[in-house]
Structure 1
Amino acid sequence: MKKLVNDPRRVVREMLEGLCDLHPGLALLEGEDVVIRADLPAPAARPVAVLSGGGSGHEPAHAGYVGPGLLAGAIAGDVFTSPSVDAVLAAIRAAAGPAGALLIVKNYTGDRLNFGLAAELARAEGIPAELVLVADDVALRETVSPDRRRGIAGTVLVHKVAGAAAAAGRPLGQVAQAARDAAAALGSMGVALGACTVPAAGRPGFTLGEDEIEIGLGIHGEQGVQRGALQPADALAERLLGTILADRGLAAGDRVALLVNGLGGTPPMELAIVARRAFALLRERGLKVERAWAGEFLTALEMPGCSLSVLKLNDERLALLDAPASAPAWPGNGAVGPARVLVPVPAAAASSPSTAAGPLAPALKGAALAIAAAMEAEEVSLTELDARAGDGDLGISMARGAAAIRILPETAWADPPTALAEMGGALRRAIAGSSGPFYATALLRAARALPATPSPADWAAAFRAGVEAVAELGGAKPGDRTMLDALVPAAEALAAAIGRGEAPAAAMASTVAAAEAGAAATTAMRPRVGRASYLGDRAIGNADAGAMAVVVWLRALAGVISSLETPAPG
């Protein structure tokens, strides 16, 4: 496992130094891995100091939540290791005034012992101190008693509740009670798709097969309560959330806040997909989702996976969640609407395309379906070729375009201009990335250049117009290693062959040959535009996938035209 670290023994200190460099509202204690608010008032004027912490590797927790309305300070231990008693006591001394300190602790033995002893020492020095344990991991509901469960990502919501209560000037006892009530109303559960690597260890804490996951794990790289087969995101969200709701006794009519937490290696795309199902399931069961957040709040280094947390709300708790707060990692109040808003797409301006099938309709449809079949047949080869110098999506894009062509209505084939325009619209809607706009633009430009009953010369002119549209849209030219390296020579060859009076089948044979030669030439070209240009000389040796796609559909079209010119046997 490669990591951007210097000395594994100094990762925590260097991380905290970087965090404080980035955020001037944070200050770092000399000699201790403790971050406190840089703007704390004089001790006599300080409200209750809400402190939290634990092992590092859970970033942005815990220092990311130091700020007004949240934590007064955070204590960082080594990766996945509780901070020392002295570090916690130093944080209490640095952040607390006569109002005292509240320590929010995730329910792990090391954290309970070190934070608990530090609180006892603080009291002996005359600093009021209380401890609140968070044990929100419902995955352990059949393994240990509720008071022995682990504290995981839901702890962040307890930080917010306690921080707001302290900022409101409440005394220590009331701040602690608000935090304990929130912890008691909270349930969380996680799933991992892989392990994480502690810098000092240099190897993952466990290994999983390609189709295996760990269900109900903690936040220290340990295994879960069960290993199972990989399931779709919806199924996993339902399992996590179903366990939380059952354990917490949440039912229709309850008001809740939802936290979708990434474990360090899960992209926002996947967290949003999980959030989507979590929202739907909560609403299906009649719960009212009043606040929600998705992102990385309390991680396990680079572990892929997520956890869900649900906090039962009342008016007081909601007000504390909504109270003003500012910290590097706090995302805001998380207000959500009662349902997803869908806005209808404005209709296009009305047009009156031809609907009566003309004499060329059967041939037009046959040619289009032949092209679709060719594209589907070459999906894998185009994907493999595109993956060598691009993002590997060309094959599936062409297959999607083929599927869109197949479902066009019969009216789409009324005449050549209508057919090209309808195909262009279908490809525009079906293909994302660059291929869709290129082909749609070419077809629409060609459609405008065609009469209803075109001559071979009209077809050649329309083809040239479409190729010019691609060049204008993309800003490329022959020699840049793009589809134009096949299109431009093909258009020139077709125009020349038609000008010589060649029959359509012979003219198309020349067109295909020119496209094949142009596509083959891209093998030795250095790409100058598009995503392949980022590779420079590394792309040399493989033909351009877009140019090869042109060859595929031109060959199919040539085959159709040749069959039309060949007399039927008998």
Structure 2
Amino acid sequence: MKKLINDPKAVVREMLEGVVTTSRHLAILRNENVVVRSDLPDKPNRKVAVISGGGAGHEPAHAGYVGMGMLAAAVVGDVFTSPSVDAVLAGIKAVAGQAGALLIVKNYTGDRLNFGLAAEIATSEGIPTEVVLVGDDVALRDTVSMERRRGIAGTVLVHKLAGAAAEAGLPLSDVARIAGKAAADIRSMGVGLGTCIVPAVGHAGFALEDNEIEYGLGIHGEKGVRRTLMKSADEIVDDVLDVILSDFADASFPACALLVNGLGGTPQMELAIALRHAVGHLERRGIKVERAWCGNFMTALEMPGLSLSVLPIETSRLELLDANTDASDWPGNGAIRYPIVLADEELLAADNRPDLPPGLLSNILRSVALTVATALERAEGELADLDGKAGDGDLGASMVRGAAAIRNLPQASYATPERLLSDLGTAVRRAIAGSSGPFYAAALVRAASHLKGIEIPDEAEWQTAFAAAIQGIADLGGAKRGDRTMLDALYPALDAWIKATSVPHNPHEAFSAAVFAASEGAAMTASMTPRAGRASYIGDRALGVPDGGARAVSVWMQAIEAAFAVSCCR
């Protein structure tokens, strides 16, 4: 794996220098990898200093949580390696005053030893220092005793509670009590979808097949406690929460805070999907989620996966979680808005259009539309592949969403051609994002306007509507012939249809000529340099592959022809 680094031995220092460069209230100690608040008052006037840290590779933890209302300092070791006693001691001496210091330590042997010894030395030198261990990882409940469990992402919530308590001016004993009780109450568990690579090592610590996931792994690139086949996001969330909630034993609580934490390589999109289901799962179990956060809080370099943390809360904890902080990577108070799903007033509004009886073409129109939907669904893989070679690869999925929009149309939409095209334009606009949705919606709106009031259009009227649809696409996007877009299938189709109808002809054969021309036009885009759309960004590198949008045109036109042929034979 390629990494954007210089010397593997210098990654931690260079990373921390980058962090403090963009933060006005932070500084880094000259001789140790310790990030400190630079806005603290003189030592006699300082409040309790909350300090945490550990190995690097967990960013934004821990330096991202240094700030008013959270940590006074973060002590950072090499990647996945505990910092030294001297580094921890330097951090304590840099930020602690007469009120003392609280060290929040994840429950790993190296961290316990180094932070613990530093606390003893600091206390012996006149700086009252206490230690709170966090062992929130429930995955190890059948492997080690509770006091030996690892500390993972739930530690960040302990930072927040302790930091807020310290900022409120509470004495060290109270800050330590609040942090210790939270550490004892919080439960977390992680799931890995892949591995990570430590810069100094250069290879992953274990391997996962594409169809495998690892339950119960920590935050250091190590294996978990159980390996299974890949599951859906909802199933994974259910599995994790089942373990977490069962670990509370007989303890019941009506409300909680939820942390959905990415391990470094999981997109925010997927974390939000997990958050959505986790909130619902907890509510179904009678636990109201009062606060929830979703993002990267304590990572394992670039590992894909997530962890969930559940912390029972009551009024005092809620106040501390909501307390202000200027730590750069704390995302806010995480308030949940209920109801979570808001109804769209436009969708709830009654359709005031008259409910027309089915027209003479109703059954034929529905048959054609459903045939198009099936064709687009079958072409998903091909269209995704073509689009992926010149764009972002979402065309296949977009056309499948368009097919779903067709299938969801009510029977009333087939009353007249105008009603069908108008309703489909609205449905497609809502169903398909990106560029395809607006283009097809514009085409359908233009075509519908040209068929207004016409119950049974003749061939010329269909042709006029088709031409108007093409012009709608051209007007909206600004492309023209030869730019390697869907228009390079549509314009040849229109030309061929007009030519075929200019002489005595069979209507089915005339439309078949248009379909053939669309297919030929789509194929010819492989030799065109793109001048519009996303493919234009890669220029000649798109040569040799047909345009996906043009190919989609040929797919649905072929489907119309096939349905037309069936209806003509009845």
Q: Give the alignment's TM-score, normalised by structure 2.
A: 0.93
C-alpha separation between the residues in 2 aligned to 1:560 and 1:168?
A: 73
Q: How does 1:325-364 map to 2 (within 5 A)?
A: 325-347=325-347, 350=351, 352=353, 355-364=356-365
Question: Secondary structure of 2:82's match?
Answer: coil
Q: Within 2, Cα distance between the matches of 1:564 and 1:366?
A: 9
User: Aligned pair 1:37/2:40, yes or no?
Assistant: no
SS at match of 2:276: helix
Q: Give CA-to-partner distance per residue, 1:497-547, whole Å, 9 cap, x none.
A: 333454423432432343233223211111122222222111100111221
Report the CA distance between 1:110 and its aligned residue: 0.7
Question: How much has 1:337 moved relative to structure 2?
Answer: 3.6
| SS in structure 1 of the partner of residue 27 of structure 2 | strand
Alignment-derived partner of residue 264 in structure 1? 264
Q: 1:402 to 1:108 in 2, by over 3 A?
A: closer
Q: For the structure 1 residues 100 and 201, does the alpha-carbon distance in structure 2 shift closer, same or farther, using more than 3 Å as the test? A: same
More deviation, 549-558/45-54: 549-558
State the distance in 2 between where 1:429 and 1:119 align: 59
- Name the SS for the 1:152 alignment partner: coil
Aligned-partner residue type, residue 235 of structure 1? E
- Output the CA distance in 1 between the equivalents of 2:276 and 2:407: 32
Any idea what SS the aligned residue of 1:248 has? coil
SS of the equivalent of 2:247 reads helix
Which residue is 1:557 aligned to? 560
**Take 1:556 and 1:190, find their aligned partners in 2: how far apart are those partners?**
47
> Does the 8 A contact of 2:253 with 2:312 survive in 1?
no
The match for 1:463 among 461, 466, 490 is 466
Contact 1:20 1:26 in 2 (8 A): yes
Distance 1:399 1:41, change over 3 A: closer
> Is 1:541 matched up with 2:544?
yes
Q: Secondary structure at the match of 1:19?
A: helix
The alignment status of 1:74 with 2:74, answered yes or no, reads yes
Query: 312-321 or 479-488, which moves further after superposition?
Result: 312-321
Q: Which moved more, 1:490-499 or 1:398-407?
A: 398-407
| Distance (Å, rounded) in 1 between the aligned partners of 2:567 and 2:109 | 82
Match of 1:478 among 474, 478, 481: 481
* Residue in structure 2 matched with residue 298 of structure 1 by the alignment: 298
- The CA deviation at 1:138 is 1.4
Uncovered stretches (5+) of structure 1, i.e. residues with no partner? none
Residues in 2 aligned to 1:148 and 1:180: alpha-carbon distance in whole angstroms: 15
Q: What are the ranges of 5 or more consecutive residues in structure 2 without an aligned counterpart?
A: none
Cα distance, 1:140 vs structure 2: 1.5
Q: Distance in 2 between matches of 1:250 and 1:474?
A: 62
CA offset digits 1:372-426 (Å, max 9, x no partner): 4443443433333223223333334334434543554444443433333344344
Aligned-residue offset at 1:64: 0.7
Q: Is the 8 A contact 1:353 1:418 kept in 2?
A: no
Conserved 8 A contact 1:106-1:150: yes
> Match for 1:9: what amino acid?
K
- Give me the whole-angstrom Cα distance separating, in 1, the residues matched to 2:539 and 2:515: 28
Which secondary structure state, in structure 2, belongs to the residue aligned with residue 298 of structure 1? coil
Instruction: Supply the distance in 2 between the matched residues of 1:404 and 1:172 (Cα, whole angstroms).
Output: 61
Letter in 2 for 1:231: K
CA distance 1:371–1:75, change in 2 (3 Å)? closer
Give me the whole-angstrom Cα distance separating, in 1, the residues matched to 2:317 and 2:410. 57
Does the 8 Å CA contact 1:206/1:223 hold for their aligned counterparts? yes
SS at match of 1:492: helix
Distance 1:344 1:138, change over 3 A: same
Amino acid at match of 1:421: S
Q: Deviation at 1:479? A: 1.0
User: Where in structure 2 are the equivalents of 1:74-473 lying within 5 Å?
Assistant: 74-249=74-249, 252-347=252-347, 350=351, 352=353, 355-406=356-407, 408-450=409-451, 451-473=454-476
Q: Secondary structure, in 3 states, of the residue corresponding to 2:346?
A: coil
Identify if the C-alpha distance between structure 1 residues 370 and 108 changes in structure 2 by more than 3 Å, giving closer, same or farther: closer
1-structure distance, mates of 2:406, 2:316: 58
For residues 336 and 424 of structure 1, do their structure 2 counterparts lie closer, same or farther at Cα, with a shift above 3 Å needed?
Answer: closer
Q: Which is further off, 34-43 or 235-244?
A: 235-244
CA distance in 1, matches of 2:316, 2:382: 61
Q: RMSD value over aligned CA atoms?
A: 2.3
When residues 101 and 482 of structure 1 are mapped into structure 2, their CA distance, relative to the original with a 3 A threshold, is: same
Q: 1:412 to 1:205 in 2, by over 3 A?
A: same
How many angstroms apart in 2 are the aligned matches of 1:564 and 1:191?
A: 54
Do the aligned residues in 1 keep the contact of 2:158 with 2:183 (CA within 8 Å)? yes
Give the 3 Å change call, closer, same or farther, for CA 467–193 of structure 1 in structure 2: same
Give, as a single letter, the amino acid of the residue that structure 2 aligns with 1:519: A
Partner letter of residue 345 of structure 2?
V
- Structure 2 CA distance for aligned equivalents of residues 406 and 247 of structure 1: 45
Q: Pick which of 430-439 and 155-164 moved more.
A: 430-439
Q: Distance in 2 between matches of 1:365 and 1:245?
A: 50
Q: Residues 315 and 250 of structure 1: is their aligned pair in 2 closer, same or farther, counting only changes over 3 Å?
A: farther
Change (3 A) 1:338 1:184: farther
| Aligned partner (choices 518, 522, 528) of residue 525 of structure 2 | 522
Amino acid at match of 1:6: N
- Aligned-partner Cα distance in 2 for 1:11–1:398: 45
Q: For residues 275 and 553 of structure 2, what CA distance do their matches in structure 1 show? A: 41
Measured at CA, do residues 486 and 247 of structure 1 come closer, stay the same or move farther in structure 2, by a change above 3 Å? Answer: same
Among the aligned pairs, what percent are the same residue? 59
Q: Residue 345 of structure 2 aligns to a residue in which SS?
A: coil
Q: Distance in 2 between matches of 1:459 and 1:338?
A: 49
| Shift of residue 22, structure 1, vs aligned partner | 1.0
Amino acid at match of 1:443: L
In 2 relative to 1, CA 426–91 (structure 1 residues): closer, same or farther, beyond 3 Å?
A: closer
Distance in 2, Cα, partners of 1:407 & 1:288: 34
Counterpart for residue 505 of structure 1:
508
For the structure 1 residues 405 and 113, does the alpha-carbon distance in structure 2 shift closer, same or farther, using more than 3 Å as the test? closer
Q: Name which of structure 1's ranges 287-296 and 29-38 shifts more when overlaid on structure 2.
A: 287-296
Instruction: For 1:50 and 1:336, locate their aligned partners in 2 and report how far apart those are by CA, in whole Å.
Output: 28
Structure 1 residues 236, 550: closer, same or farther in 2, change over 3 A? Answer: closer
* 1:121 to 1:398, Cα distance in 2 relative to 1, 3 A: closer
Matched letter for residue 13 of structure 1? R
For residues 96-154 of structure 1, the C-alpha deviation after alignment (integer angstroms, 9 at most, x for no partner) is 11111111111111111111111121122211111111111111112211111111111
Separation in 2 of the partners of 1:250 and 1:64? 36
Name the CA distance, whole Å, in 2 between partners of 1:427 and 1:135: 50
User: How far did residue 294 of structure 1 move?
Assistant: 1.2
3-state SS in 1 of match to 2:239? helix
Q: Distance in 2 between matches of 1:561 and 1:142?
A: 65
Question: Are the counterparts in 2 of residues 197 and 204 from structure 1 also a CA contact under 8 Å?
Answer: yes
CA contact (8 A) 2:25 2:37 kept: yes
Equivalent residues of 1:186, 1:248 under 8 A apart: no
Distance 2:300 2:231 in 1: 21
**1:251 Cα deviation from its structure 2 partner:** 5.1
SS at match of 1:220: coil
- Of stretches 71-80 and 341-350 in structure 1, the one that deviates more from structure 2 is 341-350
Aligned pairs, how many? 567
Q: Which amino acid in 2 is paired with 1:487?
A: L
Letter in 1 for 2:520: A
